[in-house]
Structure 1
């Protein structure tokens, strides 16, 4: 969600939980919230929203009065799937982790609009990437990266009922003073000081995301997804529709394929979707073309499917049509493109 001037609104429920942690340490949570300019009725409202400046002021005040307590770690450890409202319910009802991660890639902005979440399958690992979507103070940024990473670990572990293989989690934050607490977060291998960009990167062993989840419920999932899409409609007010459409096309390729279907999710006419995208300097056709080509490159690079299988996967009638379309984008046939990629790796 977004407020006037493009500043995102953030669900207040996470910070209400922080108030409980403050009280547990014998601190006056109400006074801290008041100092940060937050109204108690906003925190008590399940649908309450806070501005980013309010959240930044809260984090600064919390660390000012108690700098030695690992607040981010404690908040992340205290969160459950139910903490995320309807998106958490959809996660619980999903058939496998692949579906969970696709849901999160599409709808993460519902629960934390200051960050962007990406998910992609790989030859050796499956990857989740959290990056920054809105500028914020260094303290606020570090707080949220750590809290989200810790919460993520426990929530995915709970979906798998504790049956999780070893995996790697890279955080851009430096090594924390409370490093000993991470020793209990097994089977994750925690790496700090990831230098690529602010956020985190998670690498799961291949095959894990296909594991079936015990609480899968197609009916409940359909209901929860419908409500998530209704929340996503508010994207229209953010001036960031391109980002949402890109995520939906990328991570819903087996379900959502047309502008008509995406428009229906937002409860608008396809022509309205086109107009809104045009206002942001984009078009559905161009976004779809770019994403389909990227998907084609990923499939060719993986080497797991024949050209015919790739063509059918991408909606082409045969491999000849796919090869012609690929040549238009890449300037060469898929086999030549792959050879060039392999040569580049060996240099």
Structure 2
């Protein structure tokens, strides 16, 4: 949950001003509680101090990102005053690292929730799955005071952003539930969260299709180091890819090859029409043929490297009717003939 200091090339005021000034007011309050002035931080991100007194004002997503990063460094608190004790610089990076080795998003989010409790006990995060719906729930264990809205919104959006980053997917929300009353800037929530937002709810939570919990974690330590340079982008900019169907198709092709002979069989197995299958895959930036080739290539590589099976048998197990077609396809995939690949490994 870190961010770089703005440079002379930054243009934080560009973009649509849709982030409520209430969040900047909360940051100013955090400065005041530490007997520090927020004026220099405001100046760096081109926010006029007088806007703090105008409750209807809005700032851009970039301004919000940059001033949050500046405040976290100057206050040495990635919680920005929300909690009864500071979260030192690097706290949220530690949470991401703890989830990075998880085999699936469900495991990663469960770890995130559990480890967040080590940072603070002022809130409690939990992941609940029920009737095909996943809920990322935030319970307040103490009065968060003037930081309540800022804290709840930021923690939930950060967790969702990390989930999207870990899986390289856009995870659309089916609903957002918040315990507090609708603020004066409630219209901003159409930008802050996907789907409908319900205020005065029994709990604070984000809800989404539980199918996303099965997505594999796709990031590594190198990607983490790059992400931590501007992690707040995860909370203020929508992730553009939704790979849920891609993963379902990939898993089906790998685990149930008998249902992948043609699009009609595969679509029937997935309870949709072939036309819908092709359309949704296209929307996710993939095609059925690409996924078939990807799964076949992975299977072929594994058989060539881990077994001594002859090429004719490998070709048949991968799904080719003859050895020549398999050799031609493998050369297209890897630039090498199968035997050359096996010998050079």
When the two structures are superposed, what TM-score results if normalisation uses the length of structure 1?
0.39
Point out the structure with the larger helix share: 1
Larger Rg: 2
